[in-house]
Amino acid sequence: MTCHEVGRLLDAYVDNELDPAQSASLQEHLASCVGCSRRVADRESLGRLIRSVPYYEAPDRLRAHIATARPRTRYTPSLLAWAAALTLAVSLGGVAAVRMVRARPSVDVTASVAEAVISSHVRSLMADHLFDVRSSDQHMVKPWFLGKVDFSPPVDDLSSIGFPLVGGRLDYIAGRPAAALVYQRRQHTINLFIWPEAAGAPASGRQGQPDKEDVRSTRGFQTRHWERGGMSFWAVSDLNDAELGQFERALRH
């Protein structure tokens, strides 16, 4: 089974919907593919997050109303006209809602992405897989990603301010490939995840507007998210917020 085939079956596998033969074949692939194993872990992490959302049952009055309601068997012209008007209103409302979502600052980036970023950071430390390429030379790390991702991640050397580059690797965040750059601050590891912003999303920093920023503290980890030059950046570490902020500012400027 190839990585492409795993991608098509990933959701069904996580939901235990594959037949035994497919499941066994996929598990055999996962045993030897670190990238796909990470994608499975990300999906499972997202599933746990969704299942943790509170569930609210419909009130008995609403249930009784639905159970006793009789469907109409005839459709009059006036009813069809109202239905058409309602469909149009919903469609226009959907467009407006999409525009509102796109206009929100990145402080509203879903918590699921932040959780996936932190989970990947923790996995890289626990599994001792911080590096696919280990080097402090940005001119060696940057070319390593050529052909492995369909974008060119910016790679900066911050050793002059106490954040030396130590390597990089290919990672997957919420089902998308990401370049992971690894920096060091004393005994603290910083993972910097980079991937292109979604197609059609407005680029930050245009027309005098500041870059978008999202600062979070989750499970004892500090995360910072910003967008620049059509790229999305996520920095995560157990470093204190002030020093991680210094790291972010150095990359943004």
Is 47 contained in some domain? yes
In sequence order, the β-bridge partners of residue 216 are 223
Of residues 70 and 65, the one with the higher pLDDT is 65
The mean per-residue pLDDT over the stretch 37-59 comes to 73
CB atoms under 10 Å from CB of 30, counted, come to: 19
In sequence order, the β-bridge partners of residue 249 are none
Same structural domain, 45 and 118: no
CATH code of the domain covering residue 207:
3.40.1000
Number of domains in the chain: 2
Is 145 contained in some domain? yes
Of residues 116 and 76, the one with the higher pLDDT is 116
Cα–Cα–Cα angle for 80, 86, 87, rounded to 5 degrees? 90
The mean per-residue pLDDT over the stretch 205-221 comes to 61
Same structural domain, 35 and 148: no
Q: Residue 83: which pLDDT band, with cuts at 50, 70 and 90?
A: low
Of residues 150 and 39, the one with the higher pLDDT is 150
Give the model confidence (pLDDT) of 168-196 as tens digits. Answer: 999 998 788 999 999 999 999 999 999 99
Name the pairing type of β-strands 221-228 and 213-218.
antiparallel
62 token code pair: 């609403």
Is 27 contained in some domain? yes
Is 90 contained in some domain? no
Same structural domain, 47 and 116: no
Q: Residue 204: which pLDDT band, with cuts at 50, 70 and 90?
A: very low
Q: Residue 68: which pLDDT band, with cuts at 50, 70 and 90?
A: confident
Which residues, at least 6 apart from 14, have a Cβ–Cβ distance to it below 8 Å? 40, 43, 44, 47
CB atoms under 10 Å from CB of 20, counted, come to: 7
Is 78 contained in some domain? no
Whether 165 contacts 182, CB under 8 Å: yes
Same structural domain, 127 and 207: yes
Note the pTM of the prediction, 2 decimals: 0.56
Residue 155 has pLDDT above 90, yes or no: yes
Is 102 contained in some domain? no
Q: Which residue has the tokens 């919420």?
A: 174
Same structural domain, 125 and 239: yes
119 token code pair: 């989970």
Give the pLDDT score at 84.
60
Q: Residue 38: which pLDDT band, with cuts at 50, 70 and 90?
A: confident
Residue 39 belongs to domain spanning: 3-51
Give the model confidence (pLDDT) of 119-137 as tens digits. Answer: 999 988 887 788 999 999 9
The mean per-residue pLDDT over the stretch 21-28 comes to 86
Same structural domain, 46 and 117: no
The mean per-residue pLDDT over the stretch 232-249 comes to 93
Same structural domain, 139 and 219: yes
Same structural domain, 45 and 125: no
Same structural domain, 126 and 231: yes
The mean per-residue pLDDT over the stretch 204-223 comes to 63
pLDDT over 70 percentage in the chain: 74
Of residues 50 and 80, the one with the higher pLDDT is 50
CA of residue 232 relative to chain centroid, distance: 10
In sequence order, the β-bridge partners of residue 232 are 195, 227
Per-chain mean pLDDT for the chain: 79
- Closest to 179 measured CA to CA, from 235, 221, 115, 106: 235
The mean per-residue pLDDT over the stretch 18-42 comes to 84
